[in-house]
Structure 1
Amino acid sequence: MIKLKPSSAKVQSFLAERGQEFIVQQMPASTRTAKDAAEAIGCRVEQIAKSLIFKDDESKSAVLIIASGSNQVSLEKVKEQTGMQLGKADADFVREKTGFAIGGVPPVAHTTEIITLLDQDLQQFNEIWAAAGTPNSVFKLTPEQLGDLTHGRWLDIKK
């Protein structure tokens, strides 16, 4: 078995501490983009739960949107449903708030409490795949497990 990189091991530990039987997998190819991840895993792009970090303009808090790999996020729809005006988060902000670099941000195991919004389009799948701390590590889960682990709010966020 391949030894996990520290960031992926952090995700695996988080999941194990919550009694989850998830297995973080390091892929031979990049999973940095949803398309890359789907190709490496052998699933549909829509089954990739991509993590996107935004900054709430008012509170300056990090907001994680976990979107289906084929969807673009409508910030207008997010504002209508949450009241939050979201702005772009730079790489330093993402690392500070999550503990992970862009391209490998998992839906869990962050260094700070993060508001999480979930793309309702992910609910149509029996299994989805999420980043696990590095640009080439992933883990499989169900949409229900994603909701339970993140305490996220399911919304219509597709552009």
Structure 2
Amino acid sequence: MHPNAVTVAQALAGLGVAGTVRALPEPAPTAATAAAQLGCEVGAIANSLVFDADGRPLLVLTSGAHRADTFALASLVGASQVKRATPEFVRQHTGQPIGGVAPVGHPHPLRTVVDVELSRHDVVWAAGGHPHYVFPTTYDELLRITAGEAAEVGEGKA
């Protein structure tokens, strides 16, 4: 198992999460590729998007069927600007690569917003710290383990 996936698995166990990190046959850097491998709706994939909110990291867990609205997010979190983070910014704040950022297992807790659209799915799949790894969870569990804020983060197709 990749070291990032081990870190995420340990964080999940410490948080009392029953779902375990598992390897996918192929990398899943997008919600569509993850859904295809898991045999689920793309909307059941929790896209982990890290944004730069006035220089601070903001983790947004959005349904794979949604595109995040950065203007709405800025208003929600009280930032003057929310923009896509660089790969270096993402790795600095999460220790994980884009395409595999997990909701947990970061060097420091990140402010997190969780898309209410994920609540439509009984099982939600989240990244496990690396593009080859995922774990099953629920919307409520994502809110709990991230101390996340439920919000509408966007609309339409990603």
Question: Aligned residue pairs: how many?
Answer: 154
Q: Where does residue 9 of structure 1 map in the other structure?
A: 6
SS in 2 for 1:16: helix
Q: Where does residue 20 of structure 1 map in the other structure?
A: 17
Deviation track 1:80-123 (CA, whole Å, cap 9, x = no partner) reads: 33322212211111001001011100011111221101111111
2:70 maps to 1:68: no
Q: CA deviation at 1:15?
A: 0.8
Q: 1:87 aligns with which of 79, 83, 89?
A: 83
SS in 2 for 1:76: helix
Q: Where does residue 105 of structure 1 map in the other structure?
A: 101
Q: Where does residue 31 of structure 1 map in the other structure?
A: 28
2:149 maps to 1:153: yes
Instruction: Name the CA distance, whole Å, in 2 between partners of 1:157 and 1:138.
Output: 22
Structure 1 runs of 4+ aligned residues shifted over 6 Å read: none
Amino acid at match of 1:74: D
Deviation track 1:8-54 (CA, whole Å, cap 9, x = no partner) reads: 01100111112222210101022110000000111000000010000
Instruction: Name the CA distance, whole Å, in 2 between partners of 1:101 and 1:79.
Output: 23
| Root mean square deviation, CA, Å | 1.0
Deviation track 1:116-142 (CA, whole Å, cap 9, x = no partner) reads: 011111111111000001111100001
Amino acid at match of 2:95: G
Amino acid at match of 1:103: G
CA contact (8 A) 1:30 1:40 kept: no
Unaligned runs of 5+ in 1: none
Instruction: Name the CA distance, whole Å, in 2 between partners of 1:115 and 1:81.
Output: 12
Instruction: Name the CA distance, whole Å, in 2 between partners of 1:96 and 1:138.
Output: 21
Normalised TM-score (structure 1): 0.93
Identity fraction in percent = 34
Instruction: Name the CA distance, whole Å, in 1 between partners of 2:86 and 2:74.
Output: 20
Q: 1:53 aligns with which of 50, 53, 67?
A: 50
